[in-house]
Structure 1
Amino acid sequence: MRIVAIAAVADNGVIGSGEDMLWHIPADFRRFKQVTTGNTLIFGRKTHEQIGRTLPDRRIIVVTRDEDWADDSVEVAHSITEALDLAAQTPEKVCYVGGGSQIYEAAWPFLTELDITHVHQDPEGAATFPLISQREWTEISREVHEGYDFAQYRPTPEDS
């Protein structure tokens, strides 16, 4: 199973500021829907609640430490490893990790790919994406647009 972090990340590493969307890029929303439809998505509880709705045609697993939290529209896990174990039990070939910050950090050792929208802004915000180090990750493609780029990364081979 491929495990892919998918995120829109500002030039300063910020991905969020609580309740507010920091940018509105329709092409990013369309691309997110296109690549995640038919696959599994893992979100943290806060990210799931911020989205505010169920995303159709995707299996959603929400990670929360709250043992009493429940939502009938999603599956619940209490750690990233539990969420990945659930994801591995289905025929979907790709599991997307969709945030937030703590979920990206927890999933980092398990990721096989990064699918990043680099947003050319520097907003303020407490939620950040882990640093994409060239020692760890090699960019394999980039699609340049005005104000943002779509980029994919794979782990850098150990002998590089």
Structure 2
Amino acid sequence: MKISLIAAVAQNGVIGRNNDLPWHLPDDIAFFKHKIRDQVAIMGRKSLEAQRGILPSLVNIAISRNYSYKVSNAIVVHDFKEAIEIAAKWTNEEIFVIGGAEIYNLAMPIATTLYLTEIHKEYEGDSYFPQFDRSNWKEFSRQNHPSDEQHEVAFDYVSYEHL
């Protein structure tokens, strides 16, 4: 089973600011939605709430330390191991981890695939994608997206496979 992390990451590792994205990249949002459509997605509570209920995934699993936290659009669990166990009951193919920073950190040791939108700019932020040793990963796809009237900055869609 694949454990895939998907994230948009600025040159300085920033992935968020104040529970939001510090950039506006509509094509990246479309790419994200396409990748997780009808898939199983694991995320932290704040990431779920930041999505405002617009996730196209088949099953949303939210991790929260709050045992009374309940939502209608996700299965709520209280640790990462439990999230993986539940996700594995829904699929034997690919599980997507979609954030935030703490959840990415928990998932990185078992990740098999990274789908990163590498943004060609540094941003101020308070959430960071975990550092990883690129020598342990093989890039198998890269597609450039130039800046244009809808996208303030150029970026690349890059896929990595753990060696």
TM-score using structure 1 length: 0.92
Alignment of 1:1-160 (within 5 A): 1-91=1-91, 93-146=93-146, 147-156=154-163
Alignment-mate amino acid for residue 10 of structure 1: A
Partner of 2:139, secondary structure, is: strand
Change (3 A) 1:125 1:80: same
Range 93-102 or range 53-62, more displaced: 53-62
Structure 2: tracts of 5 or more residues without a match:
147-153
CA–CA separation in structure 2 for the residues paired with 1:54 and 1:67: 24
AA aligned opposite 1:67: Y
Secondary structure, aligned partner of 1:89: helix
Cα pair 2:112 2:161 within 8 Å, conserved: yes
Give CA deviations for 1:33-80 in whole Å, capped at 9, x if unaligned.
111111001110011111121423521000111111111221011111
Residues 40 and 91 in structure 2, CA contact (< 8 A), matched pair in contact too: no
Report the number of matched residues.
156
- 2: CA distance between counterparts of 1:58 and 1:31? 16
1:93 positional shift: 2.0
Which deviates further from its counterpart, 126-135 or 143-152?
126-135
Shift of 1:31: 1.0
Identity of aligned residues (%): 36
Matched-pair contact (CA < 8 Å) for 1:14–1:128:
yes
Question: Could you tell me how far apart the structure 1 residues matched to 2:86 and 2:95 are?
Answer: 10
- 2:85 & 2:26 partners in 1: Cα distance? 32
- Report the Cα offset of residue 92 of structure 1: 5.8
Q: TM-score, normalised by structure 2?
A: 0.90
Counterpart Cα distance in 2 of 1:20 and 1:91: 29
User: 2:6 touches 2:115 (CA, 8 Å); kept in 1?
Assistant: yes
Please give the secondary structure, in 2, of the residue aligned with 1:130: coil
Q: Where do 4+ consecutive residues of structure 1 move more than 4 Å?
A: none
- Alignment check: 8 A CA contact 1:39 1:92 kept: no
What SS does the aligned partner of 2:134 have?
coil
Structure 1 pair 43–145 and aligned structure 2 pair: CA distance change class (3 A) = same
Change (3 A) 1:35 1:92: farther
Residues 9 and 3 of structure 1, relative CA distance in 2, 3 Å threshold: same
| Amino acid paired to 2:52 | G
Gaps of 5+ in 1: none
Worse overlay, 119-128 or 19-28: 19-28
